[in-house]
């Protein structure tokens, strides 16, 4: 296949970053994740830290407007950092897809690129016990609450972000071509499974 765009959404601690990077290496294509924040910050003339704190976080534009005393942010040119980041990142993602094959992690990329072809939309999940063990290995214990509570909080944040900017369910089956339980088959096997799926795709 001459060109393929792969988007990956994932539960927290389900191996999304590892799988995305490994997949891009095996396919020999660019991988876009955190660097999207850096690219967006440079384009907007902002410090990277400004966008890092709102990355994949939905804003409440109405609440923001009320706090700022602004009734119509579009008319005044005032836009929350969350919305600025999403808008710029969406444009960067579209431009990256136009240039050629790539792997994009999160950030509503499966929705943003829904008109691209060929497009493979992946969702990575894993059982709670697997994710709890991986969380503890990578991060230790959370400052507040339990590991399970933090995992649920982070997934809820991603779900809310996706719903806010797309109007669709983050975990809706219609949004994906392939769903993989990474804890059942392993991360490297998940990469191979995605590549096998790509090779068997028919457009």
Q: Between these two residues, 201 and 68, which has the higher pLDDT value?
A: 201
Domain that holds residue 120: 5-200
Average pLDDT over residues 18-46: 82
Say what the pLDDT of residue 97 is. 92
Q: What is the domain-level CATH number for residue 37?
A: 3.40.50.300
Quickly state the pLDDT bin for 202 (edges 50, 70, 90): confident
Average pLDDT over residues 2-18: 95
> In Å, how far are 40, 46, 48, 128 from 52, measured between CA atoms?
10, 11, 6, 27
Question: Using CA atoms, how far apart are residues 51 and 85, in angstroms rounded to an integer?
Answer: 6
**Percent above pLDDT 70 for the chain:** 75
Q: Which of 56-70, 148-162, 177-191 has the highest mean pLDDT?
A: 177-191
Say what the pLDDT of residue 7 is. 97
Say what the pLDDT of residue 72 is. 40
- Report how many domains make up the chain: 1
Task: Name the pTM for this structure.
Answer: 0.83
Task: Render pLDDT for 88-137 as a digit per residue (tens, 0 to 9).
Answer: 888 888 988 999 999 999 989 999 999 999 999 999 999 999 999 999 99
| Half-sphere exposure (Cβ direction) of 77: Cα atoms closer than 13 Å | 0
**Percent above pLDDT 90 for the chain:** 63
Say what the pLDDT of residue 73 is. 41
Least confident of 53-67, 80-94, 110-124, 181-195: 53-67
């Amino acid at each position: 296949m001459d060109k393929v765009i792969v988007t990956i959404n994932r539960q927290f601690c389900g191996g999304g970053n590892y799988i995305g990077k490994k997949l891009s290496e095996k396919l020999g294509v660019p991988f876009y994740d955190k660097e999207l924040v850096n690219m967006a910050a440079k384009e907007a003339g902002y410090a990277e830290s400004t966008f890092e704190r709102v990355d994949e976080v939905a804003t409440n534009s109405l609440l923001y407007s009320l706090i700022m005393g602004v009734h119509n942010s579009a008319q005044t040119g005032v836009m929350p950092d969350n919305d600025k980041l999403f808008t710029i990142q969406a444009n960067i993602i579209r431009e990256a897809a136009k240039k050629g094959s790539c792997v994009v992690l999160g950030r509503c990329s499966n929705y943003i690129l829904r008109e691209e072809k060929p497009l493979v939309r992946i969702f990575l999940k894993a059982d709670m016990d697997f994710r709890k063990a991986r969380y503890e290995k990578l991060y230790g214990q959370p400052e507040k609450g339990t590991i399970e509570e933090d995992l649920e909080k982070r997934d809820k944040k991603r779900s809310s972000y996706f719903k806010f900017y797309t109007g669709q369910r983050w975990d809706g089956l219609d949004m994906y071509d392939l769903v993989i339980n990474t804890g059942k088959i392993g991360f490297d096997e998940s990469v191979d499974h995605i590549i096998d799926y790509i090779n068997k795709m028919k457009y």
